Amino acid sequence: MALKVFNTLTNRKDEFAPIEPGKVRMYVCGVTVYDMCHIGHARAYISFDVIQRYLRYAGLGLTYVRNYTDVDDKIIKRAAEIGEQTTVVSERFIREFETDMDALGVAKADIEPKVTEHIPEIVALIGKIIERGHAYVAGGDVYFSVRSFPRYLQLSGRQLDEMKAGARVEVDERKQDPMDFALWKESKPGEPWWDSPWGRGRPGWHIECSAMSSKYLGDTFDIHGGGKDLIFPHHENEIAQSEAASGKKFVNYWIHNGFVNINEEKMSKSLGNFFTIREVTARFHPEALRYFMLTTHYRSPINFSDQSLEEAQKRVEYAYQTLDAVNTMLAGGEPKGGKNVNPPLVEGLIPAFREAMDDDFNAAKVLGDLSEPLRLLNELSSGKSGKPKDDVKRTLWDLGTKVVEIGSVLGIMTRDPATVLSEIRDRKVKAKNLDPEKIETLIAARAEARKAKDFARADQVRDELKSMGVAVMDTPKGTAWRVD
From 351, 342, 324, 355, select the one nearest 399 (Cα to Cα): 342
Nearer to RNA, 307 or 433 (CB): 307
Nearer to RNA, 116 or 127 (CB): 116
CB 106 within 8 A of CB 121: no
CB 146 within 8 A of CB 92: no
351 makes contact with RNA (CB under 7 A): no
Q: How far is the CB of 386 from RNA (least distance, A)?
A: 11
Q: Which stretch binds RNA (CB under 7 A): 16-24, 87-95, 370-378, 415-423?
A: 370-378
Nearer to RNA, 111 or 447 (CB): 447
DSSP 8-state symbol, 109:
P
Count of CB atoms situated within 10 Å of the CB of 451: 9
112 makes contact with RNA (CB under 7 A): no
429 makes contact with RNA (CB under 7 A): no
Q: Which stretch binds RNA (CB under 7 A): 97-105, 188-196, 295-303, 429-437?
A: 295-303
Nearer to RNA, 168 or 336 (CB): 168
Restricting to residues 142-181, which ones interact with RNA according to CB under 7 A? Answer: 156-159, 162-163, 165-169
Q: How far is the CB of 264 from RNA (least distance, A)?
A: 5
Strand pairing of 302-304 and 260-262? parallel
Choose which of 14, 110, 191, 311 interacts with RNA (CB under 7 A): 311
Q: How far is the CB of 381 from RNA (least distance, A)?
A: 8
Q: How far apart are CA 127 and CA 133, in angstroms?
A: 10
CB 284 within 8 A of CB 305: no
Handedness of CA 443, 447, 452, 455 (dihedral sign): positive
Which uninterrupted H or E stretch holds 367?
helix 363-369
CB 253 within 8 A of CB 222: yes
Q: How far is the CB of 454 from RNA (least distance, A)?
A: 9
Q: How far is the CB of 220 from RNA (least distance, A)?
A: 22
Distance of CA 236 to the CA centre of its chain: 23
**In whole angstroms, how large is the CA radius of gyration of the chain?**
27
Nearer to RNA, 253 or 259 (CB): 259
264 makes contact with RNA (CB under 7 A): yes
Q: Which stretch binds RNA (CB under 7 A): 82-90, 195-203, 276-284, 468-476?
A: 468-476
Restricting to residues 189-208, which ones interact with RNA according to CB under 7 A? Answer: 205
Q: Which stretch binds RNA (CB under 7 A): 97-105, 339-347, 410-418, 465-473?
A: 465-473
Choose which of 154, 194, 278, 318 interacts with RNA (CB under 7 A): 318
278 makes contact with RNA (CB under 7 A): no
Strand pairing of 12-15 and 23-28? unpaired
79 makes contact with RNA (CB under 7 A): no
Q: How far is the CB of 346 from RNA (least distance, A)?
A: 16
CB 142 within 8 A of CB 198: yes
Q: How far apart are CA 150 and CA 131, in angstroms?
A: 17
Q: How far apart are CA 233 and CA 182, in angstroms?
A: 12
CB 112 within 8 A of CB 68: yes
Distance of CA 163 to the CA centre of its chain: 32
DSSP 8-state symbol, 105:
T
188 makes contact with RNA (CB under 7 A): no
Choose which of 7, 32, 52, 210 interacts with RNA (CB under 7 A): 32
CB 255 within 8 A of CB 10: no
462 makes contact with RNA (CB under 7 A): yes
Per-residue x/- track, 222-261, RNA (CB under 7 A): ----xxxxxxxxx----------------------xxxxx
CB 89 within 8 A of CB 32: no
CB 135 within 8 A of CB 182: no
Nearer to RNA, 127 or 291 (CB): 291
7 makes contact with RNA (CB under 7 A): no
Q: How far apart are CA 40 and CA 45, in angstroms?
A: 9
List Cβ<8 Å contacts ≥24 apart for 350-353.
Answer: 350/402, 350/405, 350/406, 353/406, 353/409
86 makes contact with RNA (CB under 7 A): no
Choose which of 265, 306, 334, 435 interacts with RNA (CB under 7 A): 265
Per-residue x/- track, 380-419, RNA (CB under 7 A): --x-x-----------------------------------
Q: To the nearest 10°, report the CA torsion of 362, 367, 372, 378.
A: 160
How many residues bind to RNA according to rule CB under 7 A?
86
Q: How far is the CB of 401 from RNA (least distance, A)?
A: 19
Choose which of 177, 219, 324, 369 interacts with RNA (CB under 7 A): 369
268 makes contact with RNA (CB under 7 A): yes
